[in-house]
Amino acid sequence: MHARQHTQGEHHWPTTIASLAVGTAFFALWLWLLPSWLGFRIDAAGAAPWRWIAAVPSVLGFAMALRCVWDFGRTGRGTPVPVVPPKKLVIVGAYRYVRNPMYLGFIVGWIGLWIVFGKATPLAIVIAFAVVLGVALFVVFYEEPTLRQKFGTEYEEYCRNVPRWIPRLRPWRSGSSGRAGDLL
C-alpha cells in the first residue's frame, strides 16, 4: 500500500479556514456592533452625494484586512489571534510593503465609513484615537517583541527593511537591500 502524499497546499486548508473564521468573527464585531457605539447612523438620504466616493477606500481597506487574515492562515499557518499565532513569519502580499497592513486596512475602512455616513461625534473621534493609540502600543510593546522572540533574525531583517506604518513604494524580498527603518 502506498500512503497518499499530500501536496504542500493541502496542509494549509485547516489553518486557512480557521483564520478566515476568526477574521469573519472579528469583522462582524467591527462592522455590526461598533458602528452604533461610534455614532454611525445609516441615513443615506441625508448624505451628500460626494460622500459615497469614500466607499471605495473603505471597501479596499476592509478587503486588504481580509486578505491579510487569509495570508495568516494560508502562509503563516495560524490566525491573527495571539492564542493561535502563525507558525511561519508572514511576508507575502501587503506584508512586503508595510508590517501592519491589517491594521492599516481597518483604519482606512473606518475612515471611509465615517466619511460616507458623516456621523462621527466628538466622543467617537476621541474613542477612535484612543483605539488607534492602543493598537500602536500593542504593536510596539507586545506584537513586535513576541515576533522577535519567535522568529529571531528573520524578523529582525524584516523590521530593518519594511516600515511599521508607512508603506514602501516597492515590495521587499527577503535578502534584498533597501532599508526602511523601525521609526516608520
∠ CA 104-105-108, rounded to 5°: 85
- Are 148 and 168 contacting, i.e. CB atoms less than 8 angstroms apart? no
CA distances to 6, 7, 12 from 3, rounded to whole Å, are: 9, 13, 19
Say which residue the cell 469573519 belongs to. Answer: 24
Q: Which one, of 59, 56, 69, 86, lies nearest residue 26 by Cα?
A: 69
Give the torsion through C-alpha atoms of 16, 77, 180, 139, to 10 deg: 90
Tell me which of 39 and 182 has the higher pLDDT. Answer: 39
Query: How is the chain split into domains, by residue range?
Result: 11-121
With a cut of 90, say whether residue 175 has pLDDT above it: no
- Are 72 and 19 contacting, i.e. CB atoms less than 8 angstroms apart? yes
CA 26, CA 76: separation in Å to the nearest integer? 18
pLDDT digit string, tens, across residues 60-111: 998 899 899 889 888 888 878 788 888 999 999 999 999 999 999 989 988 8
What grid cell was written down for 49?
452625494
Average pLDDT on 7-17 reads 60
pLDDT, residue 80, reads 82
Say which residue the cell 502524499 belongs to. Answer: 5
Average pLDDT on 133-161 reads 96
